[in-house]
């Protein structure tokens, strides 16, 4: 049995679960902060302490086969926290609404200043509102996904240090 191969599989599932939960948090609240990220990580890491969980069962086997390495592994797990902020907080909804109203009013004023007919003014304002609607329905989700992908890449990069430490411990178990 290769402790390293099993660890890599467990760690990948852990990382995928945390990533999924981070994405869900952004979808649900449209924001993400360091406290939330660390809370999600802590919740998922706590599964390694419960023997009935897949991760906990694996760690339990490691602790039986190699008690010192198991203790070291568990202590390293408990230290895992992100120090770098992975924040996603877009402009508040209220500010986006106010900006949209201001843009609409500015368009209307510019058209009045140019002495356009009422029909042209209504069409112009409708075009601005349509463009803003397009932005919120199409461009905003793309922007949010792009930012989230960047945050996930940063998360994975920062977690790679913890993964390396854990792999070093598991490599010792394979060497014994």
Q: What is the pLDDT of residues 99-129, one digit of tens each?
A: 677 767 777 666 666 676 766 666 776 777 7
Helix (H, G, I), strand (E, B) or coil at 88: strand
pLDDT digits (tens, 9 = 90+) for 37-82: 999 999 999 999 999 999 999 999 999 999 999 999 999 999 998 8
Query: How many angstroms separate the CA atoms of 89 and 132, rounded?
Result: 20
Residue 80, φ and ψ in degrees, nearest 5: -70, 115
Apex 140 CA angle, 157 and 129, nearest 5? 165
Q: What is the pLDDT of residue 96?
A: 65
Q: Is 170 exposed, middle or buried (0-12, 13-18, 19+ CB in 10 A)?
A: buried
Question: Are the C-beta atoms of 99 and 47 separated by less than 8 Å?
Answer: no
In this structure, what token pair is assigned to residue 136? 């919120």
Section 7-28 average pLDDT: 93
Q: Is the pLDDT of residue 28 over 70?
A: yes
How many CA atoms within 13 Å lie on the side-chain side of 90? 19
In this structure, what token pair is assigned to residue 66? 């190699």
Query: How many angstroms separate the CA atoms of 51 and 74, rounded?
Result: 13
DSSP E strand boundaries for the chain: none
SS3 content of the chain, % helix, strand, coil (to 5): 85, 0, 15
The pTM is what? Answer: 0.74
Q: Is the pLDDT of residue 21 over 90?
A: yes
Q: What is the pLDDT of residue 108?
A: 66
Q: What is the pLDDT of residue 165?
A: 95
């Amino acid at each position: 049995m290769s402790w390293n191969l099993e660890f890599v599989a467990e760690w990948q599932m852990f990382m995928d679960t945390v990533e999924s939960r981070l994405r869900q948090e952004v979808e649900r609240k449209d924001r993400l902060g360091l406290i939330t990220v660390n809370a999600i990580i802590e919740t998922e890491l706590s599964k390694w302490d419960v023997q009935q969980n897949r991760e906990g069962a694996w760690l339990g086997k490691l602790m039986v086969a190699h008690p010192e390495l198991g203790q070291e592994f568990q202590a390293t797990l408990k230290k895992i926290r992100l120090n770098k902020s992975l924040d996603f907080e877009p402009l508040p909804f209220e500010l986006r609404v106010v900006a949209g109203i201001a843009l609409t009013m500015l368009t209307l004023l510019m058209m009045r200043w140019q002495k356009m007919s009422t029909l042209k003014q209504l069409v112009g304002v409708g075009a601005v509102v349509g463009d803003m609607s397009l932005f919120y329905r199409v461009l905003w989700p793309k922007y949010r996904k792009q930012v989230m992908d960047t945050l996930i890449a940063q998360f994975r990069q920062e977690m790679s240090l913890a993964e390396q430490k854990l792999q070093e411990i598991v490599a010792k178990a394979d060497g014994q």
